[in-house]
Structure formats: C-alpha cells, structure tokens
Structure 1
C-alpha cells in the first residue's frame, strides 16, 4: 500500500512547517484570564514538563529550589499534559518537546526556547545500512520503498523477509515540527506502518525486528537501551550526534524544547525568575541530553521572537 495518492513511484511532498506563527492567540471563555494558578498544597511553584525535557531540567530546578528556598512541585508527563496544565492554569511553567501549535497560544502564555535536539532515524543493528537521504527516508516511511532489497547496501534480497517495517509514534499531531519534518501528516505515512504509543515501545519494536526503521532522540535511545539495541543512521550524510550540523540548521530532523511563563493575572515573579534561570543555564545541561541551547542557535542565525525560536537559519 502507498501512503499517498497518485503514481506509485512518486516521492512524497516535503515535510510540514517547522513552527507556527507566534502572533496567533486562542480565544478563551470569559473570566479564564482572571484565574490564578492552582498549585498542589504546600508548593510555591508548579511545573508540568514533557518527558523529553524533564530529565534535563530537573537538576536545574532542584538547584534553583535549594538556592531560593522555594518549594517547587514538578510533574513529568507529555506535551498533552503540559498543554492541559496551561488551559487549566495549574502550572506556573510548562515544558514541551514540540513547537507550540495555534491551540497552544493561550492569552498571557509566553514561550522560551531551551534548545533543540536531533531526531535520529534508527534501524536494527543487523541492517548494514548506515546512511540514507531524506528522500529515501520519506519513501521508506511513506511506503514507496516497500522492500529493503530496493536499497542494495542493505544486503537483503527481495521477498517477505525483506519488507520494510516502518515504526511510527505520531504524537502531538496538532503541533508543527518534530516527525512532521519527515512527512507532514499521518496520511502520508504507509498504510502498513506500525504505530506505537510510547518511546519505550519505539525502541523495543525496532530492536526486535531486522527490517524495522523508526526514530527517536539520542537521549531516549540511550536511556532505553535496556529494551534493546538500535542503530542510528546518518541522514543526508550527517550524523545526528553532530551538534554542529544541527546547530547550523543542516541536520533536518529535530525536536524543539520550549518552556512557558505567564503574563497577566497568572504571572508570578518567582516563576519568571525560574524560567529565566532555566534558559540562562541551558548551556550547562548534561551533554548526554544532546540539546543545542538557544544561545548557540542565536549565534548560528536561527530566528527568535523574544525568547521563542520561530525559524531555522536561512
């Protein structure tokens, strides 16, 4: 089956837009903007942080708490949990691994970029392939390339045992960037794709199937290595671990790590201080998280609207 209508051998269209316009704003019910933040009992500040960003930021949050004496409640979740905390006004700061979509731009919410992290294409270690072009990757995930035998370097011969098994995790569908940089929407992926709900499932599925191909950030590949070993591929000749090519905007697949703060009734100067602390200290994050901080991205020509990254280098 093919992921797109039209000629069987037509390449899919390019991926979707990397960012949404920062000027968009959702209209909320009357009185919503008057509500104060509802925090857990005993907490001075409340945070809801996506699982991609949580382990990187936790040491910084803990250091801030020790230095200021503030009690900070921090919840690890998903981008959906973070978005819910915004709409419910139950967090002073949220964190997401995707750029905000139009529905995330609530009145009074400001976005601050921590950095970006490469998304690596991954295969089973038994697959001798080491490098694919973006066009080849789109064909593999879109269903135009159905057999690894069509890529001679794979060493596989035609037959059912060489059928490509595209493993996907199509999270955060309303938001731009992330997997949409590969293929813009779920209809462009192969109808025979195997969709998984969680990061751990992505790693496990690719690790157990010689014909699988998937994707994930380098940190979560390493963090879930106990579930099975996978091999990152170069993309267009670029290693996802090469932070210079990522910082320059040449490596094409990445997550955007943002946090939020509030203006208006929900604003708290203590939360504003913590948000600034996290952004300022992004260059000190453990290199294992493979996050290129906003400071370096600015120097490489990425465009920002205030603290929020809004476009790659031209």
Structure 2
C-alpha cells in the first residue's frame, strides 16, 4: 500500500480545510431595492402627509420612497379614479365613482382658521360678523372700532378648495360673496397677503396659521388667528366640536391599501403617527 509523505498529506488536509471553509460561507444577500409610491393630498393635508411620509422613511422603512402631488379635492378624486395614485388625503371627500365606495380612514382634525394681520387689535368675531364682512355689507374696520385700519380687504381661496367649501357652507350660507374679494391661489399666497396688508382678512388651514410657517419666497409669516363666536382655535376645541369651522382630514382610496402602503397607514394611525400629527399642529382623534 502506498503511503503519503507527510508534506503531501499536510497539503491535502489544508486543501480540504479550505474547501470546507468555503462551503460554509454565507450566501450573498440581495441588495435592497427602493420602492416608490405616488400619493396625492389637498392643501390642508399636504404638509401633514409630507411630514408623515418623511418620518416613516427615516424611522421605519428607509427603502420606501414617497412622491406627493398636491391638488384640490376634485383632483384627488380624479387621480385615484385613474389609478395613477393609490392613496390620497383630503379635507373634503369627493363623490365616489359610479357604483363604487371610497375606502376612508380618519387621519386628523383641523379647522379653517380666520386670519388677520398680526397687529390688528381685534381678537375675535362672530359668524354673523364674518358673513357681513365677506358679503361686503361691512367694508371698513371702523365698523368694529378700529378706524386706523381703514378698509377691510377680503381674501378667499379658489372655488373647490376645501377651506373655501367649509367657509362658504358654514359662514356664507346662501349669501353671495362680495365682488371685491381677492382670490388667493394657495395657502402661501394667502398667508403672504394677510401678513403684508394691515386691513386684510382671510382664512387658511389651521396648522399653517398656528405654525406660522414661511410663506412664498421665504417671507416670515405673521398673522393672528381669530376666535369665532368666542371659541378659540385649539386642539381641544377641535376635538370637542366647539370650534365652528372644524373638519376631519381623511385618507382615501378606491381599495383598502395593501403591502407597504398598508404598513404606512397603520403606522400613521398608530401612536407614533399620532404624536407626529399633534406636533405638526393638527388634532388627533381620541
């Protein structure tokens, strides 16, 4: 019988050990792939959805990528119906497509904040006062004891905007809007206008006003939020329903979200999401 020499045997054993070590190596792991999701939100919910999606991507799933389109509530419905987006957020639930029902989830509460220049001495108005002002029946601040402010400059949002719909329904009723009203195309332009015009009055989503966020071109926004019928705009008054221009912000889809969007919705409606919603100036449901 042929015997191996000690050097040959040592080399053979080393080769076997090397082969065995290679065999035990961990298999290569697949490279994570970013997943992209397109959402849509109206002007009231856009800052909220941007904050929620950014936080979710940072703390829960760094491979989730969200693009959020902004549009009026009817635009939200159009994009959902076409299937170009799978999830929306809106302050005004649009009519569902024929024969279908929206999947809805209550996301947060906010209010339509009535705003004036920061230096306006008036702290509150009644709904009747607002109706008179926005109808043009009263057009000078002297009617409210503020002669130095001059004429009242009324600013409104465009037809179809969620805040405009709520304001017209609750405040104006069947009263026509004054022809002198100036239409503001965005939240930012509304905030800018009221910041720059001492005699101005307008309205905007509560989170944008209470947060005093920057307006267009980085303008430092300074406005005053008025109490209505003696009720201040606070989270507590929104939850209790005492604030007259409170409204619900909804997540909306044609179908119940699935996959990663379902995970995002569950997180947004859970404790972490609610804490972030409150920090952004919105109110949450009990």
Q: What is the TM-score normalised by the length of structure 2?
A: 0.73
- Equivalent residue of 2:185, what SS? coil
Q: Is the 8 A contact 1:219 1:288 kept in 2?
A: no
Q: Distance in 1 between matches of 2:239 and 2:226?
A: 18
How much has 1:133 moved relative to structure 2?
0.9
How much has 1:252 moved relative to structure 2?
0.7
Aligned to 1:305: none
Q: Distance in 1 between matches of 2:34 and 2:277?
A: 30
How much has 1:79 moved relative to structure 2?
2.9
Where relative contact order (Cα < 8 A, 6+ residues apart) is larger, the structure is 1
Q: Does 1:285 align with 2:276?
A: yes
Aligned to 2:66: 73
Moved more, 100-109 or 112-121: 100-109
The answer to which structure has the higher helix fraction is 2
Per-residue CA deviations over 1:158-180 (Å, capped at 9, x if unaligned) read: xxx72221111134258995323
Aligned to 1:91: 85
Q: Distance in 2 between matches of 1:57 and 1:230?
A: 24
How much has 1:190 moved relative to structure 2?
1.1
Matches within 5 A, 1:135-146: 135-146=128-139
Aligned to 1:273: 263
Aligned to 1:57: 49
- Equivalent residue of 1:223, what SS? coil
Q: Is the 8 A contact 2:34 2:65 kept in 1?
A: no
Structure 1: stretches of 5+ with no match in the other structure: 1-40, 297-314
RMSD in angstroms over aligned alpha carbons?
3.0
Q: Is the 8 A contact 1:95 1:257 kept in 2?
A: yes
Q: Distance in 2 between matches of 1:105 and 1:287?
A: 36
Aligned to 1:25: none
Aligned to 1:207: 195
Structure 2: stretches of 5+ with no match in the other structure: 1-32
How much has 1:128 moved relative to structure 2?
1.4
Q: Distance in 2 between matches of 1:184 and 1:104?
A: 27
Aligned to 2:176: 188
Aligned to 1:12: none
Q: Distance in 1 between matches of 2:52 and 2:150?
A: 46
Moved more, 196-205 or 271-280: 271-280
Q: Distance in 2 between matches of 1:234 and 1:191?
A: 26
Q: Distance in 2 between matches of 1:63 and 1:143?
A: 44
Q: Which structure has the larger Rg over C-alpha atoms?
A: 2
- Equivalent residue of 2:202, what SS? strand
Moved more, 44-53 or 206-215: 44-53
Q: Distance in 2 between matches of 1:130 and 1:67?
A: 42
Q: Distance in 2 between matches of 1:174 and 1:220?
A: 14
Distance 1:107 1:275, change over 3 A: farther
Q: Distance in 1 between matches of 2:187 and 2:161?
A: 16
Q: Is the 8 A contact 1:86 1:94 kept in 2?
A: yes
Q: Distance in 1 between matches of 2:180 and 2:99?
A: 37
Q: What is the TM-score normalised by the length of structure 1?
A: 0.67
Q: Distance in 1 between matches of 2:123 and 2:143?
A: 15
Count how many residue pairs are aligned between Structure 1 and Structure 2.
245
How much has 1:104 moved relative to structure 2?
6.7
